């Protein structure tokens, strides 16, 4: 598709409608809201990591409710089984055979709440679904359908009763996002509004699932000029020569960064990527894919260290004119 046929302004207006809808509930977190919408537009998955009580689940719920499509929530616990996620085959006396009962992963927006409280075996039940949009069960492959996005929340892994996500699972998330504490003004507004459970929030959908799927199909057509691709690869290359990292960003990471930059450009009403799109997304797309050579054992400290090194790389690599 030619870039001049992409209805970028219409897509921007639709996504701005979703952003405004979510911002009515999530106060003062425009960057986090924009990034989760980039994930949605890029057909990716988002991991929201932060301390308890900072709105991770509420953000995921508001995203789902702003989209007129299916929504399911899975509360991950230490006794959750893979079959509780993907479904199970049950013998039917009337049919004299087994029928598959679909699990909650068969939805459009799936909230995997506190994903790191489940065992690695259950965490991995999401892996194929996130990677291929399909589930294998009893020798059959079952498509989940589109749109499909997993929004997982987790507390820092040094909290009690948590299991760190394996690197292969982390790599399936397009972005890792953080909420952070609200500032004084926003928290005052939250206090004035009173307490509501996330599922009591009154929020109306502003984009249909069909519209979103059409938007997602246009993301690969967003133009990326060679000089911007070279800029992206220089950043990726810098992570591979950085002595503090155990290993650099993979080819999958470079593709993820390109796709996210294309989605951000479209979200902002452009049919082409600029270097600033790439620079803005380096931390949320790459930080969770990189591991320090000398780990401190403190998850939050290590996260800040990785993000600090990436910030230095972005400052060091010159942007194309």
Query: Could you report the per-residue pLDDT of 225-266, keeping only the tens digit for each?
Result: 999 999 999 999 999 999 999 989 999 999 999 999 999 999
The two three-digit tokens of residue 162, written as one number = 């948590």
Q: Pick the closest to residue 256 from 148, 168, 183, 172 (CA basis).
A: 172
Question: Given phi > 0 = left and psi -120 to 50 = alpha, else beta, which region is 94?
Answer: alpha
Mean pLDDT confidence for 119-133: 83
d(CA 57, CA 48): 9
CB 151 within 8 A of CB 108: no
Enumerate residues 6+ apart whose C-beta is below 8 A from 280: 264
pLDDT digits (tens, 9 = 90+) for 28-50: 888 999 999 999 999 999 998 87
> Percent of the chain having pLDDT more than 90?
48
Q: What's the pLDDT at 198?
A: 64
Cα atoms in the Cβ-side hemisphere of radius 13 Å centred on 201: 25
CA-to-CA separations, 294 to 165, 245, 287, 291, 313, in angstroms, rounded = 19, 8, 16, 9, 19
Please give the model's pTM, rounded to 2 decimal places: 0.90
CB 240 within 8 A of CB 99: no
Domains and CATH numbers, the chain: 222-321 (1.10.8.80)
Q: Pick the closest to residue 238 from 293, 321, 310, 320 (CA basis).
A: 310
Average pLDDT, the chain: 88
Letter string b/e over residues 123-157, b meaning 16 or more CB atoms within 10 A of that residue's CB: bbbbebbbeeeebebeeeebebebbbbbbbbbbbb
Mean pLDDT confidence for 129-156: 85
∠ Cα 91 71 54 (to 5°): 125
d(CA 48, CA 231): 27
When pLDDT is cut at 50, 70 and 90, the band that residue 105 belongs to is: very high
User: CA dihedral defined by 106, 112, 113, 115, rounded to 10 degrees?
Assistant: 140
Residue 235 vs residue 71, higher pLDDT? 235
Q: What is the DSSP string of 138-202?
A: TTEEEE--SS-EEEEEE--TTSTT--PPPHHHHTT-SEEE------HHHHHHHHHH----GGG--
pLDDT digits (tens, 9 = 90+) for 191-212: 887 666 666 677 888 999 999 9
Question: Is the preceding omega at residue 73 within 30 degrees of 0, hence cis?
Answer: no
Mean pLDDT confidence for 271-297: 91
Q: What is the DSSP string of 136-147?
A: EETTEEEE--SS
Lowest-confidence pick of 10-14, 89-93, 227-231: 89-93
Enumerate residues 6+ apart whose C-beta is below 8 A from 10: none
When pLDDT is cut at 50, 70 and 90, the band that residue 161 belongs to is: low
Enumerate residues 6+ apart whose C-beta is below 8 A from 269: 8, 9, 11, 12
Q: What's the pLDDT at 201?
A: 75
């Amino acid at each position: 598709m030619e870039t001049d046929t992409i209805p970028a302004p219409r897509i921007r207006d639709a996504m701005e409608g979703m952003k405004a809808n979510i911002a009515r509930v999530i106060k003062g977190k425009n960057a986090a809201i924009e990034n989760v919408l980039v994930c949605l537009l890029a057909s990716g998955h988002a991991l929201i990591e932060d301390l308890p009580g900072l709105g991770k689940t509420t953000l995921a719920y508001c995203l789902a409710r702003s989209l007129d499509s299916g929504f399911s929530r899975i509360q991950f616990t230490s006794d959750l089984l893979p079959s509780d996620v993907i479904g199970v085959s049950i013998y039917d006396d009337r049919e004299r055979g087994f029928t598959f009962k679909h699990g909650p992963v068969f939805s459009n927006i799936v909230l995997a709440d506190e994903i790191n409280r489940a065992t690695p075996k259950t965490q991995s039940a999401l892996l194929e679904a996130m990677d291929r949009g399909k589930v294998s069960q009893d020798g059959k492959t079952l498509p989940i359908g589109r749109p499909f996005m997993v929004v997982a929340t987790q507390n820092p892994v040094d909290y009690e009763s948590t299991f760190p996500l394996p690197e292969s699972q982390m790599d399936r998330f397009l972005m890792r996002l953080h909420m952070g504490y609200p500032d004084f003004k926003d928290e005052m507004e939250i206090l004035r509004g009173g307490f509501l459970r996330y599922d009591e929030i009154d929020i109306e959908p502003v984009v249909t699932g069909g519209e979103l799927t059409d938007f997602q199909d246009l993301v690969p057509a967003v133009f990326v000029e060679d000089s911007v691709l070279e800029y992206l690869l220089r950043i990726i290359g810098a992570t591979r020569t950085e002595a503090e990292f155990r290993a650099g960003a993979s080819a999958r990471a470079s593709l993820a960064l390109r796709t996210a930059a294309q989605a951000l450009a479209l979200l902002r009403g452009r049919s082409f990527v600029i270097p600033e799109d790439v620079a803005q997304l380096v931390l949320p797309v790459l930080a969770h894919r990189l591991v320090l050579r000398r780990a401190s054992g403190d998850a939050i400290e290590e996260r800040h260290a990785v993000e600090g090194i990436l910030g230095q790389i972005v400052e060091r690599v010159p942007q194309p004119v």
